[in-house]
Amino acid sequence: MTDIENRGPSSFHTAGNPLTVRPLTEADRDDAIRLDGTAFLGSTPPDFLTDFVIPTLEIERYTGVFDDSELVGVAGIFTKDITFPGGRQVPFAGVTWVGVKPGYTGRGILRSLMTDQLHGLHTRGQEPVALLTASESGIYGRFGYGMATRNASFEIPSGTAFKTDPPRGTVKQIPREQALPHLKEIHRRVAAVSPGYLSRPESIWSLLYSDHEIYRSGRSTLEFAVHADGFLAFRTKGNFDERGPRGELLVHELCAATPEARAALWRHVLDYSLVREIIYPRGSVDEMLQDLVVDPRALKTSTRDHLWLRIVDLDRTVPLRSYSAAADVVVRVVDTFCPWNDGTWALSLGPTGGTAVRTSDPEQITLDITDLAATFLGDVRLARFAAAGRVTGDAGAIRALDLALSTPLAPWSPEGF
């Protein structure tokens, strides 16, 4: 997909200076890389850029802001799919590389980049939703993004006891070259039915599974434990003190198509020799390990925001998922940044999908587009926002919409972009 067609340059003024907004080309790529390194307080090793980062870029989907010929702001898009509730894999605009050069912040550059992206997606009829991961979580709500998924981080002592141990011998460690085909097949199976999972082309597999030192931080190369219905990739770091071994095992990814496989993979690493602690930084808030252990306090857990979702076109987005219950409600949606969504909509939702149609009927519920985005995948309950006064209206209609949007488990993505 390309969105360079019909994208001519535009301009705006800030502090008396004209700035130009235009699509990037290959000639701008190195400038964009340098700006990204400056904006995020670091530089990426050249070999890592060449081997793993540059192959993933779709430079024709990047927007730049220029002060004369100097690139001072950038934002890009990855073309990706996400699994929505109900199992449909939906194209989305993966917003990435958003950065403004120091000295140019606070001048409306970020707003111009967000406008170019979201208004462009709407005008050209491209992806109906956009998603991003935020370096600062307070930024994107003003552009209509809602926090749609969370990640959980776990620290687990080695040897933590299970209520019921899985059968021994179902997990084996195998070399990378044997493991990767199995990993890709298991991920494909799980992604097809798990809300929040992202598509993963070969370039992303190479990036995520690189053993470059930028990922290792002194730990081992990736090792692979496999089960017939799952896999676990991890790194280890040895250490000893006067009391003996105190090694660390970092779970890179755990993916399982059955509860039995997940339990067996966990048991394998919890019993790993010379390891004192297991760290799992990118887990689901509904990680089943929490319900397997005898002592729940053994798990040190924290959560944080992960994917932020923006509904670009409400009428095109609502039909893309299934709903947990039927609901026919009239909703007043407030959307000042994408005004084509602003107004009153009749939502008709059910287990096979839904529709959103403009109506002149009186609204039953009033909410902001950010709150609808945050609840759309099922992580946050609409009733919670109603309790906080963020969603208002008829209590019965709110209950019906809350139930329709809910999902059995929280959506989760084991990766970012």
Catalytic site residue 140?
Answer: yes
Dihedral (Cα; 317, 304, 381, 313), 10-degree rounding: -10
Q: What strands lie across the sheet with 230-237, from one edge to the other?
A: 172-174, 223-227, 230-237, 247-256, 275-283, 150-157, 300-305
Which residues, in sequence order, are bridge partners of residue 156? 278
Catalytic residue among 140, 209, 231, 323: 140
Location of structure tokens 């606070």: 106
Measured at the alpha carbon of residue 38, what is the angle toward residues 33 and 42, in degrees to the nearest 5? 90
Catalytic site residue 234?
Answer: no
What letter does residue 162 receive in the DSSP assignment?
Answer: B
243 CB-near residues (< 8 Å, 6+ apart): none
Catalytic residue among 78, 84, 376, 417: 417
3-state secondary structure 9-52: CEEEEECCEEEEEEECCHHHHHHHHHHHHHHCCCCCCHHHHHHH
Task: Specify the 3-state DSSP secondary structure of 124.
Answer: coil
Asked whether the beta carbons of 411 and 321 are under 8 A apart, the reply is: no
- Give me the helices (H) in 252-336, please: 259-270, 289-292, 314-317
Enzyme catalytic residues: 140, 417
